Amino acid sequence: MEKLKIAGGYPLKGTIKVSGAKNSAVALIPATILADSPVTIEGLPDISDISMLKSLLEEIGGTVQFEDGDMTVDPSKMISMPLPNGKVKKLRASYYLMGAMLGRFKKAVIGLPGGCHLGPRPIDQHIKGFEALGAQVTNEQGAIYLRADELVGARIYLDVVSVGATINIMLAAVRAKGKTIIENAAKEPEIIDVATLLTNMGAKIKGAGTDVIRIEGVEHLHGCRHTIIPDRIEAGTFMILAAAVGEGVLIDNVIPLHMESLTAKLREMGVPVDAGDEQIFIGKADKLKTVDVKTLVYPGFPTDLQQPFTSLLTRAEGSAVVTDTIYSARFKHIDELRRMNANIKVEGRSAIIHGPIKLQGAKVKASDLRAGAALVIAGLMAEGITEVTGLEHIDRGYSNLEEKLNGLGATIWRESLTQEEIEQLKSS
């Protein structure tokens, strides 16, 4: 086990490159199960979720090659093997294996997924969709069993706008008989990315990126090559840290259209933001004005950037309110920021931040992926040394983070935890 050490107070400048989208990758890789010949996905991030999915595909008989961000999956010899627990438990997005395996084999057994603990994240909308397509779904001993004689297209209305359910139903429906219509569908860029891959494989999908998606089922899907979109959450994390401690940072490999809600908030704070075709430049901001933020589904402000943005707001003058309408339990980073001298209190679904405050280096623990990003940003802003544990969360979503930040002039390194520190962590 390791900890991340950050020497704060160094200004960052230069160019930083964004990796492929994690939230896309975890759906694109299971989608390859639906093809009957090899699929290559280019530009994947080098993160633990990807290596976990690679071994799950190999477990069910896939041949997978992965190097330099490019993955080729040959699904021709895959079988419908149960995946009741083990690796599946460690990966929230393993639920996409349900839709893909159901779509291809008409049956699947998947252990209930894990990942970050962010309060209730039920998969009832996924199950509602599978049942509408003709599957029987049962929950037995902590695993979901899916069985169908055949899948038949249906009209499915999502009670809650859900990215996961939208993608999962899409995966199950592309090889079903007849027409499927998903109403109140999520509109995130990652959904368009998955639909693009499936279309390249021969699926017939219209309306991805709108709230009504229409799918005409086909019998077979074939292999193809696909390049993943850039990670808008990683890009947003870099934009926020550039606003916090930057002296001119160019963010490369980004789609500015995906970043508009964050760009608007940064400009409101007085941060110079200049967007090109595939790049965004964040200039130095001397004084930051405070702003309120409310997370919403896309194209609103992303819940995944709420925690990193909270760190930035400790530098702004005045009081700010950050409200998370998506996940109620997404404030575990607040106690850690308080250890670093932040003046923040939580009321219900909102955090109230009073600034400006000079953060102080401290020992902190990342409880989930984006809390980890928030603490890294806080460490870069703070005086002295910050130690972050819980790196397994950060490694799930950010590839080569230290290397990228050190390239901008940060001073970040990893050290092994002592036995005593490991015991302390286990008891905390």
Contact in structure between 365 and 427 (CB atoms under 8 Å) = no
- Maximum distance among all alpha carbons in the chain? 64
Whether the upstream peptide bond of residue 113 has omega within 30° of 0, thus cis, is no
* 274 known member of a binding site: no
Residue corresponding to tokens 């802003």:
381
Can you read off the two tokens belonging to residue 416?
Answer: 């092994």
Q: What is the DSSP letter of 326?
A: S
* 92 known member of a binding site: yes
The CA distance from 255 to 252, in Å, is 9
Whether the upstream peptide bond of residue 30 has omega within 30° of 0, thus cis, is no
The CA distance from 131 to 153, in Å, is 11
Q: Say what angle helices 22-31 and 48-59 make with each other, to 10 degrees.
A: 10
Q: Quick check: is 224 catalytic?
A: no
Bridge partner list, 428: none
Contact in structure between 340 and 363 (CB atoms under 8 Å) = no
Which residue among 116, 344, 369, 388 is the active-site one? 116
* 23 known member of a binding site: yes
| Dihedral (CA of 356, 359, 365, 368) sign | positive
* 74 known member of a binding site: no
Let me know if 325 is exposed, middle or buried by CB neighbors in 10 A (0-12, 13-18, 19+).
middle
The CA distance from 113 to 116, in Å, is 10
Contact in structure between 45 and 69 (CB atoms under 8 Å) = yes
Contact in structure between 226 and 28 (CB atoms under 8 Å) = yes
The CA distance from 158 to 186, in Å, is 9
Residue 96, helix vs strand vs coil: helix
* 22 known member of a binding site: yes
* 124 known member of a binding site: yes
Bridge partner list, 118: none
Measuring CA to CA, how many Å separate 51 from each of 31, 46, 95, 395, 398?
16, 8, 16, 11, 13
* 122 known member of a binding site: yes
* 353 known member of a binding site: no
* 127 known member of a binding site: no
* 82 known member of a binding site: no
> Closest by alpha carbon to 202, among 376, 36, 14, 353?
36
Instruction: Report residue 315 CA to chain centroid gap.
Output: 26
- As annotated, the binding site for UDP-N-acetyl-alpha-D-glucosamine includes 92, 121-125, 304, 326
- As annotated, the binding site includes 22-23, 92, 121-125, 304, 326
Residues assigned a catalytic role: 116
